[in-house]
Amino acid sequence: MYTATTQVRVRYGETDQMGYLYYGFYAWYYEVGRVEAIRELGIEYKKMEEEGIILPVVQLTSKYIRPAKYDDLLVVKTTIPALPKAGLIQFECEIEDEEGTLLNIGKVSLVFVDKATRKKTTPPAYFIEKLRPYFETAPA
Amino acid sequence: MYTATTQVRVRYGETDQMGYLYYGFYAWYYEVGRVEAIRELGIEYKKMEEEGIILPVVQLTSKYIRPAKYDDLLVVKTTIPALPKAGLIQFECEIEDEEGTLLNIGKVSLVFVDKATRKKTTPPAYFIEKLRPYFETAPA
Amino acid sequence: MYTATTQVRVRYGETDQMGYLYYGFYAWYYEVGRVEAIRELGIEYKKMEEEGIILPVVQLTSKYIRPAKYDDLLVVKTTIPALPKAGLIQFECEIEDEEGTLLNIGKVSLVFVDKATRKKTTPPAYFIEKLRPYFETAPA
Amino acid sequence: MYTATTQVRVRYGETDQMGYLYYGFYAWYYEVGRVEAIRELGIEYKKMEEEGIILPVVQLTSKYIRPAKYDDLLVVKTTIPALPKAGLIQFECEIEDEEGTLLNIGKVSLVFVDKATRKKTTPPAYFIEKLRPYFETAPA
């Protein structure tokens, strides 16, 4: 398991007239969480795209527990629960407010796709290499 | 079961550099679908809010089957599969392109909440009245 | 002068906690206005891009006169005041509510750019041909 | 004159299929710049709203010099050129990339409005007090 944490502050334009962070923006925050999580591993999503691999989303699940509000400085905790398998990777995301109250849980599945052919492909070797140490079982 | 259909055209600002409709915007389209679906029933979400009931989302699931692209005129088919129960309502959403190819499936659960107290409440009587005819079993 | 009109309904996710359409979304509506205005002329922006010409924005001015609100069905009136000149085109946009009250005025300048080289270019011939009839002075 | 600087990283969902930051999102970045600029002065926009004063935008001008791209870590330099006057405040915003290249210039005018009556009002006394030191002429 690999986990990384980043912060996102709720922007005015992301609130709605209910006074809450609009439900559609959580997906954007999960994205920030993913990108920063792999950046901390030494992987730049941007470079992976430039090298010809894109990572479109195939499945999203969000559970809205408590509303986030304007100007909240949210903690976005992103977990990769397992190594990519069959060209698919999962990210789990917990969003908490500054007091540590859990507001939202997200799960996102993405597939590695060849940018030129738009066909499913395998992750780059370095992607797996960077992740592997977090998934090795300790020697008995 | 109640179903209604509306159209949404993909805006330039909703695409991403992959050349697809960004995955975060589907939730916005489901919202358009919901609002138009109940408008066709004679219910204005806006008025319901003015009367003191808001409808925050508690659960969202999206399955991304094929990408939507810039300027696509999408068909958003919204279904209410059952009458609201325990203050909760579900909407199911199928998004197709102009050729009728299924691109995306969404499920959204929302709760009726009192705007003043921010506590769970029951749907307005007229909301149920407008929906009821679609859920009555035919006489034997 | 060429003018065309389209409608845009304010989405919930486009409001902010002030209860107004967020100021950043007007630029999106101008875009819808531009695209529909040239579509009515028989020009598809999407095709122009596929043929290798993109149209990035170089200047934007917005005047916010009265707020637009959730669920408002806005009238977006888009005017091309002059034929493109030196690879630059201007669009003027007036946004009114259903009662015809003027809410917002926008002016956007864009340049024709070669998608491959990202250098300034001239508009496609058909673009000018479609527009020209609206700018010809009546014979004396 | 008062100037403050903050950083914003371009999110994937903010790019468009041109591969640039969508022109509509600059207004969002100006907003982040404004809020952080006054936070550094010790003013929380959020609190000002809670106390009953909102700050809607009345005028926006953007000049797009060079495109911002995905994952760019932009520097947002926000300047308040003068003390609020007649209930109106101006913010000027320069957005640079990490190398210090100027990408975009924005000017935004906002008015202090009473949240309850939605009428123009004067800025809170503390707002002026916090700003004043930056606008006092040095003694001769």
pLDDT tens digits for range A14-57:
999 999 999 999 999 999 999 999 999 999 999 999 999 999 99
D118 residue type, one letter = R
Residues on chain D touching C62 (C-beta within 8 angstroms): 59-61
Residue C76 within any structural domain of the chain: yes
How crowded is the C-beta side of C109, counted as CA atoms within 13 Å?
Answer: 14
Residue D100 within any structural domain of the chain: yes
Q: What is the CATH number of the domain that holds C118?
A: 3.10.129.10
Residues 6+ apart with CB under 8 A from C65: C102, C103, C104, C105
Rounded distance between C-alpha atoms, residue A69 and residue C74, angstroms: 28
Confidence at residue D140, expressed as pLDDT on a 0 to 100 scale: 57
Residue C121 within any structural domain of the chain: yes
Closest CA–CA distance from residue D32 to any residue of chain B (Å): 19
Residue C140 within any structural domain of the chain: no
ipTM over 0.90: yes
Confidence check: pLDDT of C139 > 90: no
Confidence at residue C137, expressed as pLDDT on a 0 to 100 scale: 73
What residues pair up with D53 in beta bridges, in sequence order?
D114
Q: Could you say which residues of chain B have pLDDT below 70?
A: 138-140
Domain encompassing residue A13: 2-135
The confidence band for C13, taking pLDDT boundaries of 50, 70 and 90, is very high
CB distance from C17 to chain B under 8 Å?
no
CB C112 within 8 A of CB C36: no
Count of the separate structural domains present in chain A: 1
Note the residue count of chain C: 140
Residues on chain C touching D17 (C-beta within 8 angstroms): 49
Closest CA–CA distance from residue A139 to any residue of chain C (Å): 51
Confidence at residue B139, expressed as pLDDT on a 0 to 100 scale: 60
Sign of the alpha-carbon dihedral angle for C100, C101, C104, C106? positive
Residue B68 within any structural domain of the chain: yes
Residue D39 within any structural domain of the chain: yes
Is C62 in Cβ contact with D56 (below 8 Å)?
Answer: no
The tokens for B66 are: 């094929």
Confidence at residue D137, expressed as pLDDT on a 0 to 100 scale: 73
Range C60-82 average pLDDT: 98
CB distance from B27 to chain A under 8 Å?
yes
Residue B140 within any structural domain of the chain: no
Range A5-11 average pLDDT: 98
Residues on chain D touching B18 (C-beta within 8 angstroms): 17
Residue A12 within any structural domain of the chain: yes
End-to-end CA distance of chain A: 18
Closest partner CB to A28 (pick from B20, B24, B61): B24
Range C13-29 average pLDDT: 97
pLDDT in tens, D48-85: 999 999 999 999 999 999 999 999 999 999 999 999 99
Percent of chain C beyond pLDDT 90?
A: 96
Closest CA–CA distance from residue B33 to any residue of chain D (Å): 21
Is D19 in Cβ contact with B25 (below 8 Å)?
Answer: no
pLDDT in tens, A54-95: 999 999 999 999 999 999 999 999 999 999 999 999 999 999
Residue D130, SS3? helix
Mutation site for C-interface testing, chosen from B17, B71, B115 by largest number of C Cβ within 10 Å: B71
Range C101-128 average pLDDT: 97
